[in-house]
Structure 1
């Protein structure tokens, strides 16, 4: 294992330390593989993170060869740099597939011969990545995208939390390094005894998510809402932890002129005329356009690992109402939105009302400015690339890579 950080010390590599450390590499080319099961036609934040990384590396670091290995209908090369490993489609969950064989997955990774592997989960792909890394003698980075113990308790009952926590902890302890997208996540990993952790917040495409994409009048006509509506919006999967029903109940408590637009989250539900359900917007431009056409973003998951969609809303010029806990609580404050004291309907409704009595135009400008100044993908991927370089420099498989100030 590569002892990059200790549990009680400040991590050696932090995303916000980027200006002080530049990687200078004599031979900077290397082969990075990203692998995860959380990649499907309708998947959300993890897929957007990987797609953004792929585009960024192609534009900014063409010396880095980047390969994606994800579940699919068959084991094959789908296109340049994208390979699928056959996996059964789950009967629920937006087209996700569950791989069955770590051995087969690890064999594909070994054949592709990476210099470094990043795993986006601790399920079959994550364990296969660690097995392949050990066989090849290359470092393996784990990115913590989900709080599995909390989700297990929520979906299965309290009895499931401790065994899931034990599995989760043991898996992340095997990685050479673990990336946490928020301080909240890093603290959860520390509870699990994971020592080599650094915090790298995710970013947002500020050109794609932009206020100029909004067309409020067109959206009002499309949904049949009155012209004086105050439009709240949420985009995400209809998962229990998203607390969709709590957001709907909050809007019902508020009454006119508040309306809620659910993108992807309420497809099969029947709500009152104050709630409009839009199917998942597969085209990013359409998603960005709907969000930018609303007045404020509403989020009700207090255990969110990060909350990428919150950044997307801010970049689109929307202030955010969200819980004062979890990753979302780290992204918003009074300068760009309104923190709710809880995720029950009354607390959410109170926070929404408090938001709309403020200067909404100023909040929209501040939200956009925050996204531009603090949350560019450049910041994220430059920090991650420095991490890869450092791990490769400690790897006996290849000549050391040099780091210089």
Structure 2
């Protein structure tokens, strides 16, 4: 199949979407498919990959609040590419301008909306959780649900990488919502990558001895990631127990995150690690992952951490909550630093060998991105076959 993804949230220095797109290019080529990604960029450019796969950048304005990312403005150049490529499957991967551009193309193709972003969780729930119930919030944001229904129901599928998101979208009246669970890079993330020297060096950065507990956070510095909540929680615990936090990432709220750390020597910020093997080594060398966002659509970082043998301290909402299990996780109310600190303390008080064994058993059965893409492409191939038979 030829699959063209109009991917508004792809950027060369992006996070989870970038990881996902590069995996799709590589695995798609290996499975005999041609993957073409159309992304907004600061100039028109084509980057070639194997098997005819490529990323085609369309010159577009940058997002004002995060200039690493762009926004499709003029539909004409995207439509011209689609006219030339004539894909079997047309994907849109955000419910914003990129989806409108893909939706308005007049060609014949199976159409799929891939929910890389969960706007209701990222904004509405984050703003009003604790003030009103989810049902009340959904009713107040019915205008946005109408928008999502109009957009998503114009596609053949709405692909969700977590069962909780599929359930919410289906309950909100979106037809064709399909859950195809995410996975991790095969052979990259593993408990075997744990290195005590790496762990010791990271703890030393946190001004702590190697007898302390090393927590890891990974993600962009944006509001929905809720890093101030995580930082406050770790600071509360670090006042009582020897605990350090290494937080990997950057973003348009980096200055605010740095200010929130307020010079705490036990909390250290690191730039994003692009080398996947190096990142996997850091992951496996920490003692647990602590996460703040309840607006994840993939839970990719949590899945990678679990595949690395790490126990999880995560919010009880969003895709990360779908990954949690009492054997190797502690959960807390999203955005509540006191609850997050309590969750960290509960994890620290558990029997270490049992916790590690449970996390390692989960790592041994981790779903891979190969599994995810095989299921995704099979879903598309079957739908195309059914359409042809019906015709």
Cα deviations across residues 123-147 of structure 1 (Å, max 9, x unaligned)? 2222222223xx2211111111212
Matched, 1:76 2:37: no
CA separation in 2, counterparts of 1:334 and 1:345? Answer: 20
Q: How many residues align?
A: 366
Does 2:172 match 1:199? no
Q: Who is 2:133 aligned against? A: none
Using structure 2 for the length normalisation, give the TM-score. Answer: 0.86
Query: Unmatched 5+ residue regions in structure 1?
Result: 1-29
SS in 2 for 1:395: helix
Question: 1:154: Cα distance to partner?
Answer: 6.4
Q: 1:341, CA displacement in angstroms?
A: 4.3
Question: Does the Cα contact within 8 Å between 2:199 and 2:214 map onto a contact in 1?
Answer: no
For residues 153-204 of structure 1, give each alpha carbon's deviation from its aligned partner in whole angstroms, at most 9, with x where no partner exists.
3688889944433322211111111111112111221233111121111100
SS in 2 for 1:375: coil
Q: Where does the alignment leave 5 or more consecutive residues of structure 2 unmatched?
A: 129-136
Residues 228-243 of structure 1 correspond to what in structure 2 (within 5 A)? 228-243=211-226
> Cα 1:165–1:327, aligned 2, differ >3 Å: closer, same or farther?
same
Per-residue deviation at 1:240?
1.1
Task: Give TM-score scaled by structure 1 length.
Answer: 0.83
Per-residue Cα deviation, 1:229-272 (whole angstroms, up to 9, x for no partner): 21111100111121111111111211231111111158431311
Note closer, same or farther for the CA distance 1:168–1:262 as it changes in structure 2 (3 Å cut). same
Q: How far has the Cα of 1:227 moved from its partner?
A: 2.4
Match of 1:225 among 208, 215, 221: 208
Match of 1:179? Answer: 159
Match of 2:350 in 1: 358
Equivalents in 2 of 1:185, 1:43: separation in Å?
A: 22
Moved more, 260-269 or 151-160: 151-160
Write the distance in 2 (CA, Å) between the matches of 1:302 and 1:281.
23
Aligned mates of 2:364, 2:117 — CA distance in 1: 26
Equivalent in the alignment of 1:306: 298
Contact 2:206-2:265 at 8 Å conserved across structures: no
Find the partner of 1:260 among 232, 245, 257: 245
Higher RCO (C-alpha 8 Å, min separation 6): 1
2:84 aligned partner: 111
Q: CA deviation at 1:306?
A: 3.0
Q: Which residue of 2 aligns with 1:23?
A: none
Report the counterpart of residue 193 of structure 2 in structure 1: 213
